[in-house]
Amino acid sequence: MTLGATEASPPDGGLPSEHIAETAEAKQIEGRSLGQIAWARLKKDKVALISATLILLIIAIAVLAPLIVKISGFPPDQPNFKDSNGNDLLDTQLGGIPAGGLFGSGMSSEHWLGVEPQNGRDVFARLVYGARASLLVALGGTVVAVVLGTVVGMVAGYFRGWVDALLSRVMDILLSFPTLLFILALTPVIADRAQSTFGIPDNNTLRMGVLIFVLGFFGWAYLARIVRGQTLSIREREFIDAARSLGAGPGYVIFRQILPNLIPTLLVYATLIIPTYITAEAALSFLGVGVKEPTASWGRMISDASNWYEGNPLYLFFPGAMLFITVLAFNLLGDSVRDALDPRAGRS
Amino acid sequence: MTTTSTPKSTGRATAFSERTNPVRGEVLLEVEGLQRHFPVTQGIVFQRQTGAVKAVDGIDFQLIAGETLGLVGESGCGKSTTGRLVTRLDEPTGGKITFQGADITHLNRRQMRPFRRDVQIIFQDPFSSLNPRQTVGTIIAAPFDIQGIKSEGGTRKAVQDLMARVGLNPEHYNRYPHEFSGGQRQRIGIARALALRPKLIVCDEPVSALDVSIQAQVVNLLDDLQDEFDLTYLFVAHDLSVVRHISDRVAVMYLGKIVEIAARDELYNHSRHPYTHALLSAVPEPDPDAVKRRERIRLTGDVPSPLNPPTGCRFRTRCWKAQDVCAEQEPPLVQIGAPGHLAACHFPEERDVV
Ligand SMILES: Nc1ncnc2c1ncn2[C@@H]1O[C@H](COP(=O)(O)OP(=O)(O)OP(=O)(O)O)[C@@H](O)[C@H]1O
Ligand code: SF4
Ligand SMILES: [Mg+2]
């Protein structure tokens, strides 16, 4: 009496609740994950496409910087005083601001975006190389913050009890730090220590490493809190018990069962903090604790240019515009990612 | 019936050969004085315990290999907690659990590992019981993955055999849970529980969340699987109608205690405890004459809090037969009537309900 129905064809079959996927895409056996659905939505979003293209372009510029500079002809660190015809690039009488070009920028067919006042380095080359420092520090800092925040948050939320109490206090303390002040005070100290104690020369690799570490270290606590909250709720779901009833240990449950469910949150958070870290790197370099001479960074360029904005406003404009476009693109993409991942967002 | 698609052919029998198979009729699992009190604490920094939710408060029962024991009671009476204790997802605060002669009451995770193959659980909620980020293939392969078991012909083959056996299309291996209906999702959960060839499956209200039309299909599937794989079930439900078809014996729980336990027909036809009567009167009866013969008992009042259960008989605050003695003495669970028929009441019913 009981069998038959269950054996032959897919059961629950002809019922109305059995459902679109069965009929409409009967041939498409490959399932669509929630991620793939979000991806499909994202691909239809024009703002997302434009910002993603911009971001890819900026990343390409950063990666291909040496190649681009070869084509443009002037390395970023090379001082230039004369153009190929032997004319002076800089006007020594006006304190060394570029001679000629739009608004005294020194823009010409050789120096596409002009040259720096005083030492005549090529602005285009420095802008291209500046993308490297900005993106490297911002992405590096984001990776550190996301990895730390995710692991600590998951551990606190999964184990609860005293582990949670301890880690949550650490998060509280970190969140109540005057972060910017600490970064300003700490970065030179860490760089200095690294040099005196470990003999690591205070070059820009070290500086960038320190920036990444500092941004990441002060940035994970907020994410850890979010992750902890989500872990607390995910661990109450029955599929966690299902895994445990099969003998799974904490490592399996945390990384194989809980982590995949956090990915939307992590993506959204990452797209949220990348632009703030780009700005932070610029601000720190502007304030002199970030990337040092002679390496280019947008923050450093803005800092230098602020001394010359009357005689050479474009020198300030170019790095400012790059910073603005990059941050805006990341923010817009972040918004789109958030919408695409949110099943309740009434779009698509 | 045909069982061509059963994964018996995958050769996993060899990997499992060290396991002793229970003989039909022998005691598979025994629970004595089982207790789970959830501490209730107050204070944020210095927590102190101010009381305890007595979710399960001293219950005894046996599961005989090959049988289905229905466990019935209102919401919050401790059925799920009992199931979680038996599968050792939760730690008992008292009592003893013996599985095939081995005391598993306080085994830690590592020590429990071998028993995990033998005792499995199917959950109530077909949505929260499957990880939404994993494909069906990954979900059903998890048992092999976690226990480190390789099956001949590969895990994928084993998983697809299981899918076919529970009535899913094996080609839907790469689909995600949200692409299935509630009934199909429950079948995924059943396939996962079945993967390691357990001896005992705790079914925690496996059909309560499903449409009535699908409930019967899933119950029938469980019934068939039981015969085919010699399974023993602890089948939890919140009313007596669902378990009637599948159970060999039925236990009725009220506020963390078993108040009556008997063979299925004995319980449905000759129940002795007033609470069982009340539950039975709520069972829809296909025969209209029977409805007329049976008066409907409407329970009044709320279930008391398990934080502070009534003294003596816990049912006395809602019992129409309660006397002074019911508040003073807790009625023991003793044999009344047929052998194996136990009830905990000072004034058991005399007359039969049919
Ligand atoms: N982790 C916990 N902490 C504190 N109290 C709990 C916990 N789990 C369950 N309880 C309490 O224990 C009692 C029994 O819960 P349980 O889930 O076992 O009931 P149930 O019979 O399965 O009910 P339902 O039919 O609603 O599923 C309830 O009062 C519940 O609030
Ligand atoms: S012991 Fe008393 S209160 Fe409890 S069920 Fe029996 S008659 Fe009712
Ligand atoms: Mg329950």
ipTM: 0.88
pLDDT at B351 over 90: no
Q: What is the percent of chain B with per-residue pLDDT over 90, rounded to a whole number?
A: 71
pLDDT tens figures, B28-44: 999 999 999 999 887 76
pLDDT score for B5: 41
Residue B298 distance to chain A (closest CA, Å) = 33
Q: Choose the weakest-confidence range: A18-32, B143-157, B230-244.
A: A18-32
B56, B72, B80: which to mutate for ligand 1, most atoms within 8 A of CB? B80
**Chain A residues within an 8 Å CB radius of B187:** 11
Contact A2 B2 (CB under 8 A): no
* pLDDT on residue B293: 57
Q: Which of A36, A246, A265 to mutate to test the interface with B (most CBs of B within 10 A)?
A: A246
User: Of the given ranges (A186-195, B92-101, B246-255, B270-279), which has the lowest mean pLDDT?
Assistant: A186-195
Asked if residue B75 has its Cβ within 6 Å of ligand 1, the reply is yes
* Whole-angstrom distance, CA of residue A49 vs CA of residue A89: 41
Residues of B in contact with A247 (CB under 8 A): 109, 112-113, 116-117, 146-147
Residue B173 to residue B168: CA distance in whole angstroms: 9
Q: Which residues contact A60 (CB under 8 A, 6 or more apart)?
A: none
Q: Does A160 touch chain B (CB under 8 A)?
A: no
Q: What is the pLDDT of residue A42?
A: 83
Q: Token digits for B61?
A: 């029962």
Q: Which of residues 101-130 of B touch A (CB under 8 A)?
A: 109, 112-113, 116-117, 119-121, 123-125, 128-130
Segment of A27-31, A108-112, B8-12, B269-273 carrying the highest mean pLDDT: B269-273
End-to-end CA distance of chain A: 46
Alpha carbon distance A329, B93 (integer Å): 56
Helix residue ranges per DSSP H, chain A: 20-24, 34-43, 46-63, 65-72, 123-159, 161-175, 179-198, 204-234, 238-245, 250-252, 259-286, 298-305, 313-341
Which residue in A has a C-alpha nearest to residue B137's C-alpha?
Answer: A31
How far is B316 from chain A, CA to nearest CA, in Å? 34
Q: Tell whether omega for the bond before B332 is within 30 degrees of 0, i.e. cis.
A: no
Residue nearest to atom 11 of ligand 1 (CA): B55
Sequence-separated (6 or more) residues with CB below 8 Å from residue A62: A128, A131, A132, A134, A135, A136
| CA neighbor of A277 nearest in space, from A329, A222, A226, A211 | A211
Averaged over B215-241, what is the pLDDT?
94
Amino acid identity for residue A275 in this structure: P
**Model pLDDT, residue B8:** 38
Provide mean pLDDT across the span B73-87.
95
**Buried (b) or exposed (e) across B9-30, using 16+ Cβ within 10 A?**
ebebeebeeeeeebeeeeebbb
| Whether B87 and A245 lie within 8 Å, measured CB to CB | yes
Q: Residue A90 has what pLDDT?
A: 67
- The answer, for A257 touching chain B at a CB cutoff of 8 Å, is yes
Neighbours of A165 (CB within 10 A): 12
How far is CA B141 from its chain centroid? 24
Mean pLDDT of the residues in chain B: 88
Residues of chain A with pLDDT under 50: 1-28, 345-348
The per-type count for chain B, helices as H runs and strands as E runs, is: 12, 12
A1 alpha carbon, distance to own chain's centre: 62
Extract the tokens encoding A106.
């020194």
B70 vs B263: CA distance, rounded Å: 10
* Residue B292 pLDDT > 90: no
The span from the first CA to the last CA of chain B, in angstroms, equals 34
The whole-number pLDDT of residue B288 equals 61
- Tokens at B71, concatenated: 């466990």
| Interval between CA B319 and ligand 2 midpoint (Å) | 6
Checking if the pLDDT of B313 tops 90, the result is yes
Optimal mutation site among A166, A245, A253, A261, interface B, most CBs of chain B within 10 A? A245
- Cite the beta strand spans of B240-341 per DSSP E: 249-254, 257-263, 334-335
Burial of B183 (0-12, 13-18, 19+ CB in 10 A): buried
Return the axis-axis angle of helices A259-286 and A34-43, rounded to nearest 10°: 50
Residue B298 DSSP symbol: P
Ligand 2: distance of its center to the CA of B328 in Å? 11
Contact residues of ligand 2, CB 6 A cut-off? B 274, 313, 315-316, 319, 321-322, 326, 331, 345-347
Give residue for tokens 């009890």: A161
Count of CA atoms in the C-beta half-sphere (13 A) of A69: 22
Report how far ligand 3's centroid is from the alpha carbon of B255 (Å). Answer: 13
CB–CB of B236/B73 below 8 Å? no
Cβ-proximal residues to B214 (8 Å cutoff; 6+ apart), any chain: A12, A15, B181, B182, B183, B207
Say whether pLDDT at B344 is over 80: yes
Kind plus residue range of the DSSP H or E element containing B94: strand B94-99
The token pair at B259 is: 């108040």
Question: Who wins on pLDDT, B6 or B85?
Answer: B85
